[in-house]
Amino acid sequence: MDKDFMASTVLSGIRVLDLTRVRSGPTAVRQLADWGADVIKIEIPVNLEADGALGASRDSPDFQNLHRNKRSLTLNLKDEEGISVFKKLVQNSDVVVENYRPDVKERLGIDYESLKACNPRIILASISGFGQDGPYSKRPGFDQIAQGMGGLMSITGEPGRGPMRVGIPIADLTAGGNGSIRLCFRHRCSCLIFRRLAGCVLGKYRDRQGTIIPPASPRVSLKLLTGRSTWQWQEKRSGVVLLKPSVRKNG
């Protein structure tokens, strides 16, 4: 196979500035790094946020796995000098990825319009719990919140014992995975693969902005329409077979 089309090199020549934290954002950027992008992770000074304050500590296997194949730089984005250095990096980058609450990037002066003034070709990828606008947009979003409000917990666990969180951070992992795929394939004039292989110049093009709301599952729709708990509906009514605990001879 031609090395230019191997998965590990397909994004070589693409520079990504990683402002993400916790899991959903780092998952997205990790995939870009695995595909060969030059990723620079912007880290918060330890005097402003202790190591491991949000998520695993930097020496843990989980952190090292999430941030593999990345370089790092510590910047205080609340300081004018730190913002100045960051915007100089933006001038020679292709993508900025962040998962702050939407109002945070406005306060820091790193919203899309501010970044575009530094580099008209820049792509800003934002991951947030409740979208970039709307009544809940300023709320922080975590995996367990998405599982609970999305209805996933209501079909996990055992009837009569209450909702249960899925064992892995499925909402964060899905958001991150979808984010990386969207960056690479969303639109040929902004996607990274097209830019890498065809040399597309973004110019004044601006991708559609807004919040994408995926179709709700039947159980979520049922709850919204009737107010009835999904536990009240058995598998024959819902059309979906639910796996249940089962007893074995060995206990």
Q: At what angle do helices 24-34 and 170-185 cross, to 10 degrees?
A: 40
Q: Which residue has the tokens 């993400």?
A: 20
Q: Provide the 8-state DSSP code for 132.
A: S
Active site residues: 172
Beta carbons of 45 and 74 less than 8 angstroms apart: yes
Q: At what angle do helices 143-150 and 170-185 cross, to 10 degrees?
A: 100
47-70 burial, b for 16+ CB within 10 Å, e for fewer? eeeeeeeeebeeeeeebeebbebb
Beta carbons of 95 and 123 less than 8 angstroms apart: yes
Q: Looking at the chain, how many residues does it have?
A: 251
- Ordered alpha helix ranges (H), 22-111: 24-34, 61-66, 80-91, 102-108
Tell me how far apart the alpha carbons of residues 72 and 19 are, in angstroms, rounded to a whole number: 10
